[in-house]
Structure 1
Amino acid sequence: MKKVSIAAIVLFTTLAACNEAGTNNTDNTSNNAAPPPPAIQYAVVNKFPHDTSYFTEGLEFYKGQLFESSGGNADESPYPSELGIADLKTGKVTTKVQLDKTKHFGEGITIFNDKLYQLTWTSKVGFIYDANTFKKLGEFKLPAKEGWGLTHDSASLIMSDGSSNLYYLTPDSLKLLNILRVTDNNGPVPNLNELEYINGYIYANQWETSYILKIDPGTGMVVGRINLENLQREASSLRPGADVLNGIAYDSANNRILVTGKRWPFIYEIKIQ
């Protein structure tokens, strides 16, 4: 459903080509190149059913409950554009907020100080709700052309827009505080999607890959990658039409991480090493 920015592709390709060309220099400067992010190993601890009608955009724990959002539009997509509470026993989502699909394609969510924030894809608007009653409290203008993923640290909301940038926003006024550029050994890292803040690091799904990236928020460097190709393969084999990996939720009370994908048949509990 999402389209990659042509400019981002050109920039990424150019940087990669420059990096490759640099390996032919006679002064051996390539020996000083930064190494690629190390692989982070993981183990599957548990599997839970997942609502395959959900084109998952956001996944979030709050007060012991799992919140999930889905994106869809009236013209191209049969998927709901809504958010609700997912039951890990059945996989079904109890809808709490439903968007007008003729106007809004629902995207990432996060909950901070009892407020639930929801992005939209191309509407350039976000919504704020009371996280307990789901009463709409307001709207805010996005700092980028598109809204993708959303999380928060102890002070700010953190938003992705499908590029290599992460946008820091004040949770009250929703003003832009800072833009963090995410890079690895090859330069800017594009297609940052769903986000989760875990123990001082930002974890990001990289759209159209099987990777979750571990990002140092102080430098923007990718310091590790989790390859969930095996989970992607299983989801696709069990559910024809299962789409890309997308969805990270951290249950801090029980120190567990849940991951899933768009229309996947399972939510996986994983333990990273």
Structure 2
Amino acid sequence: MTFGRALLGALALVIAGCAAAAPAPAPAVERLRPTVLAELPHDTGAFTQGLELAPDGRLYEGTGLAGHSRLRELDPATGAVRREVPLPGELFGEGITVVGDRIWQLTWQDGVALEWDRMSLTLLRQVPVAGEGWGLCRAGDRLVRSDGTDRLRFHDPGSFAETGSVAVTLDGEPVTEINELECVDGQVWANIWQTDRIVRIDPADGHVTAVVDAAGLLDDERRADADVLNGIAALGGDEYLLTGKLWPASFRVRFTPA
């Protein structure tokens, strides 16, 4: 009897310990929608792959397609192209991000990242990258890259060396085809390719903490000759600039509960 009671007591302690060690449930995922504050013209020839507003107020856009890729500075008030430079040869441009007086630009399947001088838009060097390049943003002392899989990959902002990665999940399921990125206040906003969804990701654990449904942002008539939603730039406060590949417009928005 004494042995039985001791065994039961030990089992109770084990069960209690397991219960105490159980991870806390993930917080509920916010459901948001973009509320349009203003509309700007956007070049319908721009196959937008990256969009970012620098701290000094300069707006940059990276575009894709082999032999037609560009790095551009846009007028943030009108959307007009202020200046642009082509990527070398047939490189297929992808996401961009500003790091001080430099800009990093990914290429899709060419295996390199490009480092540009931001003021002159002069190409400084090409750095090897393993895997594909999709989206790119800067989060503090590291860069965050997407490659079309369910992972965010981290890079050193000086050398572009890969330093780690995290798997992205929504309600416990992998999130793939993560595309253009924007880092804001320690979180990563990401377009999901071939959809009208934008998600907010906690890069510490890869959990999606918010989903934005941007369906209908561009009306059906203008969407007929356009491609997918792709391009998100934080404007400060709680405002963002959204656009897409070959879209005729960009939208200044605020994310509000759906």
Partners in 2 of 1:90 and 1:113 — Cα distance? 24
Flag the 1:186–1:167 CA change in 2: closer, same or farther, 3 A.
same
Whole-angstrom distance in 2 between the partners of 1:211 and 1:36: 17
Question: Aligned partner of 1:172: which letter?
Answer: G
Match for 2:126: what amino acid?
E
1:39 paired residue number: 31
CA distance in 2, matches of 1:132, 1:154: 21
Is residue 268 from structure 1 mapped to residue 251 from structure 2 by the alignment?
A: yes
Instruction: For structure 1, list consecutive stretches of 5 or more residues without a partner in the other structure.
Output: 1-32, 75-79
What SS is found at the alignment partner of 1:231?
Answer: coil
Cα displacement (A) at 1:120 = 0.6
Task: Please say if residues 49 and 89 of structure 1, whose CA atoms lie closer than 8 Å, have aligned partners that are also in contact.
Answer: no
Determine if the alignment matches structure 1 residue 172 to structure 2 residue 164.
no
Q: Is the 8 A contact 1:143 1:167 kept in 2?
A: no
1:111-144 alpha-carbon deviations (Å, 9 max, x no partner): 0122100111110101101111222221111132
> Greater CA radius of gyration, 1 or 2?
2
Q: Is the 8 A contact 1:202 1:217 kept in 2?
A: yes
In structure 2, the residue matched to 1:81 is 69
Match of 1:188 in 2: 174
Secondary structure at the counterpart of residue 32 of structure 2: coil
Alignment-derived partner of residue 12 in structure 2? none
TM-score (norm 2): 0.84
The 1-side partners of 2:239 and 2:120 are apart by: 26
Contact 1:68 1:93 (8 Å CA) reproduced: no
**Residues 21-100 of structure 1 mapped to structure 2, 5 A cutoff:** 37-62=29-54, 63-74=56-67, 80-100=68-88
Give yes or no for contact 1:35–1:185 (8 Å, CA) kept in 2: no
More strand by share: 2
Secondary structure of the structure 2 residue equivalent to 1:242: coil
State the distance in 1 between where 2:101 and 2:152 align: 23
Partner of 2:226: helix, strand, or coil? coil
Distance (whole Å) between structure 1 residues aligned to residue 70 and residue 121 of structure 2:
12
Q: Which runs of 5+ in 2 are unaligned?
A: 1-24
SS at match of 2:199: strand
Q: Write out per-residue CA displacement over residues 163-213 of structure 1, whole angstroms, 9 at most, x where no aligned residue.
A: 111110001121111111101114110000000011221000000010000
Q: CA deviation at 1:36?
A: 7.3
Structure 1: how far apart are the matches of 2:138 and 2:130? 16
Judge conservation of contact 2:228–2:245 (CA < 8 Å) in 1. Answer: yes
How many correspondences in the alignment?
232
Q: Percent identity?
A: 37
Contact 1:194 1:247 (8 Å CA) reproduced: yes
Q: Which of the residues 109, 122, 127 maps onto 2:109?
A: 122
